[in-house]
Structure 1
């Protein structure tokens, strides 16, 4: 039986969001690969990113939901036709069970109602598709590379044709080889039993609402439609219908009004593992929407790898740190895999963090599996803010060098 509440404290809202996000890392049943699939199905998507100073974002996000995660899981799940690549708010891995809800975007792009960033060359697209049909799965490098690169993306025409066919749904990514996409015909990638009917507007709108709220605990219209083009009218209508049907409720947190699934309030009766610490990816689902992160966790975060070096405050690639149910620090890190050293260029504690010794203990405990995850066996702390704590943290980290 669900609870009924009109408002939540900020602390309650934080707890609800974290438990909905399956953070801190929770114990999971079944095989390690099943736990990875469960995480992707629950979150709805996991963002793919190319930056590899620390293990890539998609692996990092799943590592924080599944302590037994292995980087091979994603490609295994793609081979088993349980996960596929497409676009959420960015390039992502999605559960195959949600495939039909990518069709509205694909059909809008194919019809010209929604623009993609590459200009369509229908003749070249047809030629590329016919070659894949005849030869089987191919990578961009398998096509003629003599074509002049053009457009602001400076991408080869055949690569642009492949990406257009992918975004329109004619092609899918059957696997990756050294992170390079391998394209194949959609009918050869999809499971034969999969429901591929296009959802109605009402189905699609309700899907976006429910999927978001299940994974995030509470949300606003702007958050549910974040970077998903032309969905605000559908989601607005879905919210109205679902409120009338009692499927969702409105709830206030401080000065913000959110939507929530009534059954999600039951999570508030469950414990939150506050002593467990997580070092998060900048692209983790918990904090990818920076304004939301600021509103709920009072944590202002900017990924500074896109900021000129002289203007950086915290470092090139800072990893937010979750502990005690809050975002309490950020760690600018780089894994030197050749030397097997995890470099912490700068560890910055939030001004409100008072229990520094307990935090140092929790960080030390988490750093050991995190180092292994990043193929490192030692750690070097180069700087800390405030500097007066450097000796305390260095003393804790002494136990971390291992072979």
Structure 2
């Protein structure tokens, strides 16, 4: 499980769209359910409130494998990745899904252009990291592409730095403009 700070949600709509499209194309998440059956799952959650996978009764067909999932679970997970559903709560390890609109405070689509959303995510990543490579910035949220990171870096006042690792090797990175002050304040 992971927690995404609520203040990030306005810039997260793009991430939901990207993950929703990716999982919709994935053979793993293809549930075998028709659109009407998937809509029935959504409708039930809308009417009854948060439901776990145990509230649905489709069966996995084929060999019993460790990661095999019944069709309704794959459909729930795909809708979760797309942001249509969200984790309302857990009971032990069991997720209870509810409509994203009921779980996310104020919703997650700010209506901002995608470039502004990716810029905000990159800036937040840099704030948390203090320094990093373009790849590390991209992977922090897993929500942007190499081209978007490169574009953002070209429009910022980040400082080029050389980072020395514990083993003595060094590599090029970028750092927040206030990196010297941050390092001076570090314990």
Say yes or no: TM over 0.5.
yes
1:180 to 94, 97, 118: 94
1:249 to 156, 159, 169: 159
The whole-number CA distance in structure 2 between the counterparts of 1:126 and 1:235 is: 36
Q: Counterpart in 1 of 2:177?
A: 262
CA drift at 1:223: 0.9
CA drift at 1:124: 2.7
CA contact (8 A) 1:204 1:234 kept: no
Q: Counterpart in 2 of 1:158?
A: 72
Q: Counterpart in 2 of 1:216?
A: 129
* Structure with greater Cα Rg: 1
1:137 to 24, 28, 50: 50
Higher relative contact order (CA 8 A, sep 6+): 2
Question: TM-score, normalized by length of structure 1?
Answer: 0.40
When residues 161 and 195 of structure 1 are mapped into structure 2, their CA distance, relative to the original with a 3 A threshold, is closer
Q: Does 1:202 align with 2:115?
A: yes
Q: Does 1:239 align with 2:153?
A: yes
Q: Counterpart in 1 of 2:59?
A: 147
Structure with bigger helix share is: 2
**Structure 2 residue runs without a partner (length 5+):** 165-169
| 1:305-324 equivalence runs, <5 A | none
Q: Counterpart in 2 of 1:356?
A: none
CA contact (8 A) 2:24 2:30 kept: no
When residues 184 and 270 of structure 1 are mapped into structure 2, their CA distance, relative to the original with a 3 A threshold, is same
Question: TM-score, normalized by length of structure 2?
Answer: 0.81
CA contact (8 A) 1:250 1:259 kept: yes
Quote the RMSD (CA, aligned, Å).
2.5
SS in 2 for 1:147: coil
The whole-number CA distance in structure 2 between the counterparts of 1:210 and 1:271 is: 21
